[in-house]
């Protein structure tokens, strides 16, 4: 199991919103905490990537896991509004640290052994594993809460984050060339992303496609609105997640497709979401699952082609610029949902297609004949 998959096996994930409400927070206070979380990530995203380039990408990933563990320990040890706010700041910083560093660490590790062309396949497996662990996570959350309530769930979650950090320590980091990232202005990687047209388009494509994943937050809402009983919503939504896992796992094969075919897949995904939204019946969730599977296959390719565009010592910084763009682009999804629900989001998916075309044109180097095992 990769450290990224283990880091998602956190039993507190399905329960932390309930934790806040059960400790007396209002809906407005919970929304305020989520806003604090987002703002922290936005502010620290690019500096965190620059830190990974100047110091150690593996070290930054390990630090991210430790900070997340501390966040959950604070929540568990002293639950209350102040502790929840501190925890979200730490968790937001943790997410920013891991955002650019993890992709850069994996890509450079593969490139060091001549397997850069396998990045889409490996990244797809990792994304798929992160979705699949939702199944044992949900089971673990239910069992742990029944045995020891929020306290047991929280301490186990902190332990899982520390275990993921320890596993990340074992991941090989490509040797750094003397001077790589040293004595370089902090924002030079940002300037590189903005100055180079080809790289700029690749960053834009990854940001816009990645931002569309914000629709995942609304899948439970869709299920309930389309007539699925509340008790069955978790299972229904899990089906969409499994379809997404299948799509991500096929990302390596999708990377072999020409750009026009990838754009067609994204367009079909948007049409599927629109059809599901108009149909608005429990069976429409199957069409929504097709949307999510096709979408994640294209997302894996967009991420891989961004990495193939990046050269030099600023890989984590530039990836973090794309991560910042994803955060901003997700706001478009939220705005579209507020204006017109799933139909408006589907139209947004279709509108993104021509914009990302130029960013998807680059292809990764050919993968080696030797099939590399997933980490």
Q: Please give the structure tokens belonging to residue 6.
A: 């283990």
Q: Residue 138 in contact with residue 233, Cβ under 8 Å?
A: no
| pLDDT at residue 373, as a whole number | 39
Q: What torsion, rounded to 10 degrees, do the Cα atoms 127, 131, 132, 136 define?
A: 130
Task: Report domain extents, the chain.
Answer: 1-173, 189-364
What is the fold of 1-173?
Growth Hormone; Chain: A; (1.20.1250)
Instruction: Tell me the CB-side half-sphere exposure of residue 75, using CA atoms within 13 A.
Output: 33
| Structure tokens that stand for 55 in this block | 């110091």
The answer, yes or no, to whether residue 2 has pLDDT greater than 90, is: no
* Per-residue confidence band for 345, with pLDDT thresholds at 50, 70 and 90: very high
Overall fold of domain 189-364: Growth Hormone; Chain: A; (1.20.1250)
Which pTM does this prediction carry? 0.83
* pLDDT at site 165: 93
pLDDT at residue number 42: 87
What is the percent of the chain where pLDDT is above 90?
Answer: 46
In the predicted structure, residue 119 carries a pLDDT above the cut 70: yes
pLDDT digits (tens, 9 = 90+) for 43-84: 998 898 888 888 888 999 999 999 999 999 999 999 999 999
Nearest Cα to Cα of residue 295 among 337, 335, 239, 241: 241
The pLDDT of 317-345, averaged and rounded, is: 89
The SS3 assignment for 310 reads coil
Q: Do domains 1-173 and 189-364 have the same CATH topology?
A: yes
Reading the block at residue 83, the tokens are 């502790």
The pLDDT assigned to 186 comes to 60
Average confidence (pLDDT) over 6-28: 85
pLDDT band at 372, cuts 50/70/90? very low
């Amino acid at each position: 199991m990769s450290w990224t998959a283990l880091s998602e096996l956190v039993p507190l994930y399905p329960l932390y919103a309930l934790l806040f409400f059960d400790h007396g927070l209002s809906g407005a206070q919970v929304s305020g905490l989520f806003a604090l979380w987002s703002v922290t990530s936005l502010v620290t995203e690019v500096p965190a990537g620059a830190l990974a380039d100047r110091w150690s990408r593996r070290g930054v990933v390990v630090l991210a896991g430790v900070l997340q563990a501390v966040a959950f320990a604070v929540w568990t040890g002293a639950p209350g509004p102040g502790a929840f706010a501190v925890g979200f700041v730490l968790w937001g910083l943790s997410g920013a640290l891991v955002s650019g560093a993890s992709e850069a660490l994996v890509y450079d590790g593969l490139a060091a052994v001549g397997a850069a062309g396998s990045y889409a396949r490996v990244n797809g497996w990792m994304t798929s594993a992160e979705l699949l662990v939702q199944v044992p996570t949900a089971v673990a959350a239910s069992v742990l809460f029944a045995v020891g309530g929020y306290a047991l769930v929280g301490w186990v979650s902190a332990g899982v984050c520390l275990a993921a950090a320890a596993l990340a320590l074992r991941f090989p980091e490509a040797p750094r060339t003397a001077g790589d990232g040293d004595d370089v202005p902090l924002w030079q990687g940002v300037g590189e992303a903005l100055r180079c047209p080809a790289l700029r388009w690749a960053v834009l494509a990854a940001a816009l496609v990645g931002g569309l994943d914000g629709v995942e937050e609304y899948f439970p809402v869709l299920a309930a609105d389309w007539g699925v009983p509340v008790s069955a919503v978790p299972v229904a939504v899990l089906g969409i997640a499994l379809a997404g896992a299948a799509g991500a796992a096929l990302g390596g094969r999708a990377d072999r497709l020409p750009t026009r075919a990838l754009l067609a897949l994204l367009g079909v995904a948007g049409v599927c979401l629109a059809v599901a939204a108009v149909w608005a019946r429990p069976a429409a969730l199957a069409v929504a699952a097709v949307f999510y599977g096709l979408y994640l296959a294209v997302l894996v390719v967009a991420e891989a082609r961004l990495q193939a565009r990046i050269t030099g010592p600023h890989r984590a910084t530039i990836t973090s610029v794309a991560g910042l763009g994803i955060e901003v682009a997700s706001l478009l999804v939220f705005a579209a949902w507020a204006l017109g629900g799933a139909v408006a989001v589907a139209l947004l998916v279709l509108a993104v297609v021509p914009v990302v075309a130029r960013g998807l044109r680059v292809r990764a180097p050919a993968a080696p004949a030797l099939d590399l095992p997933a980490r």
